[in-house]
Structure 1
Amino acid sequence: MPVVNRIAAFAEDMTAWRRHLHTIPELGVECHDTAAFVAERLREFGVDELHEGFATTGLVAIINGQGEGQTIGLRADMDALPIHEATGKEYESTRIGKMHACGHDGHTTMLLGAARYLAETRNFAGRVALIFQPAEETGGGAEVMVEEGIMDRFDISEVYALHNAPGFDEGAFFTTPGPIMAAVDTFHIYINGKGGHGAMPHETRDPIMAACGMAQAIQTIVSRNHVATEDLVVSVTQIHTGSADNVIPETAYINGTVRSFTSEVRAMVKRRMQQIVDGQAASYDVGVELVYDEGYPPTINDAAKTDFAVAVAQDVVGEAQVHPDYGREMGAEDFSYMLEKRPGSYLFLGAGDGAGLHHPEYDFNDEIAPLGASFFARIVERAQPAGGK
């Protein structure tokens, strides 16, 4: 079964929605204009309930089907990125320094398309909960919405989400059972030494040497403390220090990211990093403070729900266009918080050629929006068909 005919019929409307959203990017939880646009569309579609204000600007809309049944959750993220757009499109961002560089405008549009169709047809039992979430990029909006009780309040039994994937075959679906995206942690290392003249290093306690030693030693966590066949990334991404060629500075700062898949590995990295920075600080006679922030948990797909999602995707685009053993990657996603509370699945939808995610020339491919909307709609109709199986 290809793209739902009714959804294909209003594909131009979806393109218009998406391009409007693209012009008004918003960051974090401050998605006020985006949420207002979404709410206006949902009211036009005739959803049965509309609940606003979760995680500041998040929404949950309820559509009732025919008869009793469970509640299926479908989620889209709404926030943008602090990037200056360089697409030159007629619908480019009107807000300097902000742009939809990850396609959340497209994700929101796909869920709106599914909402319009499901509200019109109601060819399913039970209910669908449409979750429009802010602050995926920063702030963990999914975690906040979960903590605010959306899973229990709306009795959501399972939950699904999509993410567009530029560089992947257009219209193809990619997923995997079990872990699909990594946990993400951030570390900050503050080094305090004794500054002085660059010509008299013996009178200083050089934080630069300590920073170099720490940055190199941290790499041994992956190479010497971790099983090589398991996935782990530890990357130093920033070192800031110094102000002049003849001055040894007083302080240095190191920042970086850790990506992993299990709580045991996360704990090991944190423990070893503390041991390393303490040992290096002693070696170089400097003070040190490690701040280790645990971020999003790993995104773990339920095996049975992923098998079901794969079957639905095959209905929409055909078996050859669905890749159920894509494997896992080291990016992170706060949909993980929802999957911790309810079984479900996260899938990628190929967007074809174009600039990559988080790039100033990125633009969502409007051609795939009807596919995503059809997938969301069929998830509901197949999970709980009207009149029973």
Structure 2
Amino acid sequence: MAVINRIAGFAEEMAGWRRHIHMHPELALDCHETAAFVVKRLREFGVDEIHEGIAKTGVVAIINGQGAGPCTGLRADMDALPMQEETGAEWASKVDGKMHACGHDGHTAMLLGAAKYLSETRNFKGRVALIFQPAEEAIGGGRIMVEEGMMERFGIDEVYAIHTDSFAQAGELRTCAGPIMAAVDEWEITVKGVGGHAAYPHACKDPMIAAMQTGLALQTIVARNANPIDPIVVSVTQFHGGTASNIIADEVKLSGTVRTFSETNRDLAERRIGEIARAQAESFEMSADVVYERSYPATVNHAAQVDKSAKVAREVVGDDLVITDLPPEMGAEDFSYMLNERPGAFYFLGQGLGPSVHHPEFDFNDEVAPIGASFFARLIETLHR
């Protein structure tokens, strides 16, 4: 592996940054301590500009190269998850009910590592915009940063990001052109009937029956409405109703998620969930209220940016560890908003097989941080020659 020697030389320092962040997890937009830690490091590195308070706690730092050139954005997310950690690590979370279970602590450390190196060497033209983003796990901090005009404000031409991957061997960089992660939507159906004593169902209109039939019927969206070669997932994940075994409830709620790669399927799912829910309820002489909320769009890589960044990846980790035909995944990622605004690419960096992200025993592998930092740094040096 052609990890940059200078970055390898401060690998322990990067691990220290990562573990500090890991011990002090913060949620959503409230990444105050993490942002302050990042800003302190950036000032020590001598970056040219630091802009705080974007999407509440987001930070964008600018490093100027030597001479005129483009501006490329490199993004890391900073927020943690509302989970109890079970790693038993010396650097385990000190905050009850919060932990870095998705590797965002590692993402931030890798971008800091690239920042330290690029600030020292400046072996590139143009500018690099270091994007430290809050609220990837919820709310969509990436969307907020875009809506606040980040791309225009800093003149960002292209944008790239890395996410840790516990399903791939350490050092493997995986990506693909086109959709790489799905759009995510949420829906809730409230079936309204007439409650009463369970011993006298004829005197009631039981919403439980209608809700159960609705849950089953929703599966026909995938099986019979969607084009079978255009992936879509419709999952019922919650079903709530009733208070006792001898009471028929007045209403029952069911909710779930939709994952798609195309706006066509997104539109289809929204339309059919509403039609099915209302028609099923009406067939039982009841009514249904439907709420459908669109969240993160699909994360779609740009082919030209995948092609040129993959060449850089091969220089860093070797041909055998670069995958450019990764099958798209049904997980979601709010880097999608940035890729909707500017061309770029999203990569997965293998950290070795182990507990998956969002698992209480997950921990970022510090050994791969120099790889991610080197990829970021070489990307800038290559694209900005």
Pick the TM interval, shorter chain: over 0.9
- 2:58 matched to 1:58? yes
Equivalent residue letter for 2:4: V
> Which residue pairs with 1:245 in the alignment?
245
Q: For residues 283-294 of structure 1, what are the structure 2 equivalents within 5 Å?
A: 283-294=283-294
- Cα deviations across residues 314-348 of structure 1 (Å, max 9, x unaligned)? 01000011011112111110000000010000000
The alpha carbon displacement at 1:287 in A equals: 2.2
> Which residue pairs with 1:96 in the alignment?
96
Give, in whole Å, the separation in 1 of the partners of 2:43 and 2:181: 34
> Which residue pairs with 1:185 in the alignment?
185
Equivalent residue letter for 2:91: Y
Give, in whole Å, the separation in 2 of the partners of 1:225 and 1:247: 36
> Which residue pairs with 1:228 in the alignment?
228
- 2:306 matched to 1:306? yes
> Which residue pairs with 1:24 in the alignment?
24
> Which residue pairs with 1:76 in the alignment?
76
Secondary structure (helix, strand or coil) at the match of 1:374 reads helix
- Cα deviations across residues 78-127 of structure 1 (Å, max 9, x unaligned)? 00001111111111111111100000000000000000000000000000
Q: What fraction of aligned residue pairs are identical, expressed as a percent?
A: 58
Greater Cα offset, 51-60 or 200-209: 200-209
Q: For residues 1-389 of structure 1, what are the structure 2 equivalents within 5 Å?
A: 2-385=2-385
Give, in whole Å, the separation in 2 of the partners of 1:347 and 1:353: 17
Give, in whole Å, the separation in 1 of the partners of 2:362 and 2:200: 50
The alpha carbon displacement at 1:194 in A equals: 1.2
Secondary structure (helix, strand or coil) at the match of 1:361 reads coil
Question: TM-score scaled by structure 2?
Answer: 0.99
Equivalent residue letter for 1:175: T
Gaps of 5+ in 1: none
Equivalent residue letter for 1:287: S
The alpha carbon displacement at 1:176 in A equals: 0.2
- Cα deviations across residues 185-218 of structure 1 (Å, max 9, x unaligned)? 1001112211111111111111111110110000
Give, in whole Å, the separation in 1 of the partners of 2:246 and 2:95: 42
Equivalent residue letter for 1:45: F
Secondary structure (helix, strand or coil) at the match of 1:14 reads helix
Give, in whole Å, the separation in 2 of the partners of 1:357 and 1:194: 43
Give, in whole Å, the separation in 2 of the partners of 1:332 and 1:70: 29
Give, in whole Å, the separation in 1 of the partners of 2:7 and 2:180: 29
Give, in whole Å, the separation in 1 of the partners of 2:347 and 2:80: 20
Give, in whole Å, the separation in 2 of the partners of 1:266 and 1:166: 29
Give, in whole Å, the separation in 2 of the partners of 1:210 and 1:104: 42
- Tell me the number of residue pairs that the alignment of Structure 1 and Structure 2 aligns: 385
Secondary structure (helix, strand or coil) at the match of 1:330 reads coil
Secondary structure (helix, strand or coil) at the match of 1:202 reads helix
- Cα deviations across residues 153-208 of structure 1 (Å, max 9, x unaligned)? 10000000000000211110100001111111100111221111111111111111
Give, in whole Å, the separation in 2 of the partners of 1:185 and 1:142: 17
Give, in whole Å, the separation in 1 of the partners of 2:133 and 2:355: 25
Equivalent residue letter for 1:293: E
- Cα deviations across residues 218-238 of structure 1 (Å, max 9, x unaligned)? 000000001111111010100
Equivalent residue letter for 1:19: R
Equivalent residue letter for 1:334: D
Secondary structure (helix, strand or coil) at the match of 1:51 reads strand
- Structural RMSD (CA): 0.8
Equivalent residue letter for 2:15: T
- Cα deviations across residues 286-323 of structure 1 (Å, max 9, x unaligned)? 22110000111111100000011111110100001101
The alpha carbon displacement at 1:74 in A equals: 0.2
Give, in whole Å, the separation in 1 of the partners of 2:147 and 2:232: 28
Give, in whole Å, the separation in 2 of the partners of 1:270 and 1:261: 14
The alpha carbon displacement at 1:350 in A equals: 0.5
Equivalent residue letter for 1:278: R
Give, in whole Å, the separation in 2 of the partners of 1:100 and 1:350: 17
Secondary structure (helix, strand or coil) at the match of 2:26 reads coil
Gaps of 5+ in 2: none
Secondary structure (helix, strand or coil) at the match of 1:91 reads coil
Give, in whole Å, the separation in 2 of the partners of 1:5 and 1:117: 10
Give, in whole Å, the separation in 2 of the partners of 1:241 and 1:27: 31
Give, in whole Å, the separation in 1 of the partners of 2:97 and 2:244: 31
Secondary structure (helix, strand or coil) at the match of 2:289 reads strand
Give, in whole Å, the separation in 2 of the partners of 1:204 and 1:96: 46
Secondary structure (helix, strand or coil) at the match of 2:300 reads strand
Equivalent residue letter for 2:162: L
Greater Cα offset, 134-143 or 260-269: 260-269
Equivalent residue letter for 2:180: I
Secondary structure (helix, strand or coil) at the match of 1:352 reads coil
